Amino acid sequence: LSVKSRTLLSTDILVCSYMNFQLRHVHLDLRLNFAVKEMSGWLVLDLLAARPGVQTLVLDSHPSLLIHSIDCKVPGSGQDAPVSLTYRVDPFTDYGSSLNISLPAAAAKPNRMFQITVRYTTTDGPAIWWLDSELTCSQSRPLVFTQGHSVCNRSFFPCFDTPAVKSTYTATVRVPDGVTVLMSASRSSYSKQDRVFQFSMEFPVPSYLVALVAGELQHVDVGPRSRVWAEPCLLSCAVNKLGGSVERWLGVAEDLFGPYLWGRCDIVFLPPSFPIVAMENPCLTFIIASILESREFLLIDVIHEIAHGWFGNAVTNATWEEMWLSEGLATYAQRRITTEAYGEAFTCLETVFRLDALHRQLRLLGDNNPVSKLQVKIEPGVNPSTLMNLFTYEKGFCFVSYLSQLCGDIKRFDSFLRAYISEFKFSSVVAQDLIDYFLGYFPELKDSAVAQREGLEFDRWLNGAGPPLYEPDLSAGGALTRPVQELCELWAGSDPPDPQAVATFDLSTWSTFQTVLFLDRMLDQSPLAHGTQYYYYHHCYYCQYYCYYCYYHNC
């Protein structure tokens, strides 16, 4: 973290004492027990004290973790044997607890590496989802997966559960016969006889991007660095829908933003009980299987998660108060990729659909609602996940689009984003880091004081509630959006629509986005009861963002 980032984060609401330590590496050694739905084993943290005299290590934890013992090794201190440590678990919020560990004096010396080993067992925590066989697609074997975003992984393993801290990690996972394990890392070895999988993530990642899935999983390679994983009954469908597209999308993204840094770009399709649509775990995107019903939604969501390989995973928001640094930039990058791969009209249609949803949410919440700010203040005890909404995606996208417009040439902005990734890769940043780098990259914009331009001030963008101060020109999608609006006007008029006029619209040629945009706009003009409209736009932010699936699957 930069000095600027540390200063801005000093008042962040966290339980862990990450500012006092440097986390170098995490190792997990776990045994999965499907019969009792438990993971048991140990966690090893390689740490250095960042300040002299630190006596306590505080980790984020969760009441669902049963801590059995904690010990410490300080290599080179004359006490190479592990020393048992005292600890206590204190309540924190409804989404976690604090694990307070008393350190020996030898571990408190700055720049001396020491290891903390925590032996523990997981129970029923929010990060770990055990599915009985009846809840899987094949209904033949159980399955387990983890979902760490935003602050759930503290119920997977004790950690510094903040995006400000990154480290490499390794894992050893022991499973019953017939179970395949995948993680957000490269598989380094596998013993069929012992049923032991080993993984290694050589690049630093935040705790929320450590992910695991285990079950009856098979794969097909769909490119030189990508494969599709799924239960056997889903695999052929998933492969047919994706084909060789993943490598194509990766190539376009690399042309725009620089090399893909993570080696593998695999995708695993999970049962419909997966709690979100997709998750950008490095090396292995998790995605819900029900999205296979729509080629367009599948395309958009996979490309969005690929974009996170640069924006969110390589360069990460240092605080959950600025999630737009991940989601807004990834949404912009996603749309640059789709523009290059499928044309500007397609991208404009998808953007119109999303911005319609943004303004619909604003009408429900009101322009002055603080959740519409890009920088949202997280109050004590508030789960950051509850503040994830369309604004982090779409208002963030509009701000990034405004920065691009200031450059006068979208290719110049592509070059800036490549440089930004190169400068900050594998680190965590705050919004001011992005803005300062932008103004330094384009000194003529800094000299013309664009950050203080009346009505479009950067501070107002970040801290002001309400709609975006600028929206990009989407007229290139007019050929696709005009028929939608014309049909809406026919249906929403005061008189019944003329059947002959309606028949002139060939809906068989419409894309999914056109159909859903039409349904959305009809609902906007319809006198449906409030309860019906609320059902359509479920309170969950994921369903607001992917409202088609909320409506279609009654989720």
Catalytic residues: 305, 393
How would you classify the pairing of strands 180-183 and 212-215?
A: antiparallel
Sign of CA dihedral 255, 260, 264, 268: negative
User: In terms of Cα–Cα distance, which of 425, 206, 167 is closest to 318?
Assistant: 206
User: In terms of Cα–Cα distance, which of 361, 362, 331, 359 is closest to 347?
Assistant: 331
Q: Strand, helix or coil at 265?
A: coil
Is the CB of residue 213 less than 8 Å from the CB of residue 146?
Answer: yes
Record the tokens describing residue 470, joined without a space: 């600028």
Would you call 516 exposed, middle or buried from its count of C-beta atoms within 10 A (0-12, 13-18, 19+)?
A: buried
350 labelled binding-site residue? no
Sign of CA dihedral 237, 243, 249, 254: positive
Alpha helices for 343-430 (secondary structure H): 344-365, 390, 396-407, 410-424
How far is 422 from 315, CA to CA, in rounded Å? 9
Sign of CA dihedral 306, 311, 317, 321: negative
Record the tokens describing residue 440, joined without a space: 């330094």
304 labelled binding-site residue? yes
Residue 427: CB atoms within 10 A of its CB come to 17
How far is 285 from 277, CA to CA, in rounded Å? 11
327 labelled binding-site residue? yes
Cα–Cα separations (whole angstroms), residue 344 to 400, 472, 473: 17, 12, 11
Is the CB of residue 267 less than 8 Å from the CB of residue 229?
Answer: yes
How far is 374 from 134, CA to CA, in rounded Å? 41
Q: Which residues carry a binding-site annotation for Zn(2+)?
A: 304, 308, 327
